[in-house]
Amino acid sequence: MSEKGSDIAKNIWLAGLGAYGSKLNEAVEKVGKGTSKYFDELVEKGKSLEAETSERVNKAREFSTISIEDRIERVRHGLGFDHKQDPQLTALTKRVAALEKKLGKLMDTIEPKSKTRTKSRSAKKSTSKKKTVRKTKSKKA
Amino acid sequence: MKTRERILQTSLLLFNEEGESHVTTLEIANEMNISPGNLYYHFRGKEAIIPELFDRFEHELTSILKAPIENPLSLEDNWFFLYVVFEEIHEYRFIYRNLSDLLQRFEVLHRRFSRLLDLKRLTAKAICTSLMQKQIINIDEEEITQLADSITMTITFWMNFQQLRTSETPSHLLMHQGAFQVMSLLAPYFTEQHREFYDGCHAFYQEALKEVS
């Protein structure tokens, strides 16, 4: 009984929606022809409008919500305060550091060599040996 | 994009540029190349459009303002946060432009706008309190209330004030001015160690001014 009652209520509501969606004079014309058929038609129309309405209600809920972190990040970027370093720049910085280290080692090998040279000629043999050993080491590094 | 959404966006654009009171629904329909009847099908006049635009503004600004209350920001991020707030207000500046007129016509919006003002004050208080706790500013509780009110007032009316002074201020300059104006409200309270942050903001603002002019 109650199910039937709610069905009727729903149909009336849907018919109302359908009537709302159609033009008034069109409605007046059709009323003359046959009311029950017209009612069914309105129910059908109401159904399609109902689907449309609920879709719009859902759409309205989809507000553009960007998180505050993202918005702050965008402002930071826009004002030119980027803290996140460019990955290319970090890679280059690393390479420069590695090259500096190598250069430092190379300088170490050069400096003692020039010192030993001035020392004495008798020590020449041993220093030249040392030199070649260090060279291969630095190449590996 | 759905017609309904386009109506809202076109209305916002025209309201912002020409002032809400100067724009008719016919102009909105013309701008979009749709019939006035089509517009009427979606919205029964401006009285239906304005509250919906306000809904969006309220929703967005509320989520922005709540962020620093829930999670304190770093000193620097507070400064960027000011820009976000000004950006949001600028995006819906038609509301602020004829505030008293608009709120008189829409009784419901009046109450809701008051709530937004309260939230602005709460946010300003939360930020000042967190800055005080980190000993970035030296201030007592009572002064915080006054300062929060001044900040709220500046945020709310800065653009109107600037518009009254000079009508043709580019929008990004408005942001810089607004953010720096708020910073200068805090300036007297900065502790010696953090004074340089304010000086940095000042230098940045001077640069921004140069770029614009």
Q: Tell me the DSSP string of A45-99.
A: HHHHHHHHHHHHHHHHH------HHHHHHHHHHHTT---SPPHHHHHHHHHHHHH
To the nearest whole Å, the CA of A137 is away from the closest chain B CA by: 48
Task: Judge whether residue B191 has pLDDT over 50.
Answer: yes
* B135 three-class SS: coil
B73 touches chain A (CB under 8 A): yes
For an interface test with B, the pick among A72, A74, A83 (most B C-beta atoms closer than 10 Å) comes out as A72
Single out the residue of B56, B58, B64 nearest to residue B11, CA to CA.
Answer: B56
**CA of B92 vs chain A CAs: smallest distance (Å):** 14
Query: In 10 A of CB A113, how many CB atoms?
Result: 14
Residues in chain A with CB shorter than 8 Å from the CB of B84 are 68, 71-72, 75
Out of A63, A68, A81, closest to residue B67 by CB: A68
User: Which three-class secondary structure state does DSSP give residue B18?
Assistant: helix
Domain boundaries, chain B: 1-44, 46-212
Centroid of chain to Cα B168: 18
Give percent helix, percent strand, percent coil of chain B, each to the nearest 5: 85, 0, 15
Q: Return the CA Rg of chain A.
A: 44
For B71-116, what is each residue's pLDDT tens digit? 999 999 999 999 999 999 999 999 999 899 999 999 999 999 999 9
Distance from CA of A118 to the nearest CA of B (A): 55
Which pLDDT belongs to residue B1? 81
B157, B125 contact by CB (below 8 A): no
Name B34's Cβ contacts closer than 8 Å, sequence gap at least 6. B3
Q: In this complex, do B60 and A65 lie within 8 Å of one another by their Cβ atoms?
A: yes
Q: With cut-offs at 50, 70 and 90, classify the pLDDT of residue A105.
A: confident
CA distance B130 to B123: 11
Question: What is B1-44's CATH number, 1.10.10.60, 3.60.15.10, 3.40.250.10, 1.10.540.10?
Answer: 1.10.10.60
Chain B interface includes A72 (CB < 8 A) = yes
**ipTM over the 0.85 cut-off:** no
Contact B204 A79 (CB under 8 A): yes
Interface test with A, best of B58, B83, B91 (most A CBs within 10 A): B83
Domains B1-44 and B46-212 share a fold: no
List phi, psi (to 5°) of A45: -60, -45
CB spacing of B81 vs A72 below 8 angstroms? yes
Mean pLDDT lowest among A29-38, A73-82, B160-169: A29-38
> What one-letter code names the amino acid at A81?
F
CATH fold, domain B46-212, is Tetracycline Repressor; domain 2 (1.10.357)
Whose CA is closest to B90, among B49, B117, B60? B60
Report the pLDDT averaged over residues A43-66: 55
Query: Looking at the complex, does the CB of residue B44 fall below 8 Å from at least one CB of chain A?
Result: no
- Which residues from chain A sit within 8 angstroms of residue B2, using beta carbons? 56, 59
Across the interface, whether the CB atoms of B80 and A56 are under 8 A apart is answered no
Q: What is the pLDDT of residues A107-130, one digit of tens each?
A: 888 876 555 555 455 544 444 444
**Secondary-structure breakdown of chain A: helix, strand, coil percentages, each rounded to the nearest 5:** 85, 0, 15
Q: Where are the domains of chain A?
A: 2-61, 86-140
Provide Rg for chain B, Cα atoms. 19
**Rounded Cα–Cα distance for residues B85 and B94 (Å):** 15
Sign of the CA dihedral with A8 first, then A13, A18, and A20 last: positive
Mutation target vs A (from B84, B87, B171, B201; most A CBs, 10 A cutoff)? B84
Write the DSSP symbol of residue B192. G
Of the two residues A65 and B45, the one the predictor is more confident about is: B45
Distance CA A75, CA B193 (A): 26
Facing A56 at nearest CB: one of B4, B87, B204: B4
- Sign of the C-alpha dihedral computed for residues A9, A12, A16 and A21 taken in this order: positive
* Nearest CA-CA partner of B98 in B65, B50, B151: B50
Cα–Cα distance, B128 to A28 (Å, whole number) = 67
* Smallest CA–CA distance from A71 into chain B, residue: B84
pLDDT tens-digit map of B18-77: 999 999 999 999 999 999 999 999 999 999 999 999 999 999 999 999 999 999 999 999
Structure tokens at A65: 């919500």
Q: Is B58 exposed, middle or buried (0-12, 13-18, 19+ CB in 10 A)?
A: buried
Q: Do A72 and B64 touch (CB under 8 A)?
A: no
Amino acid identity at B175: M
Number of H helices, E strands in chain A: 6, 0
CB contact under 8 A, A68 and B2: no
Residues of B in contact with A60 (CB under 8 A): 52
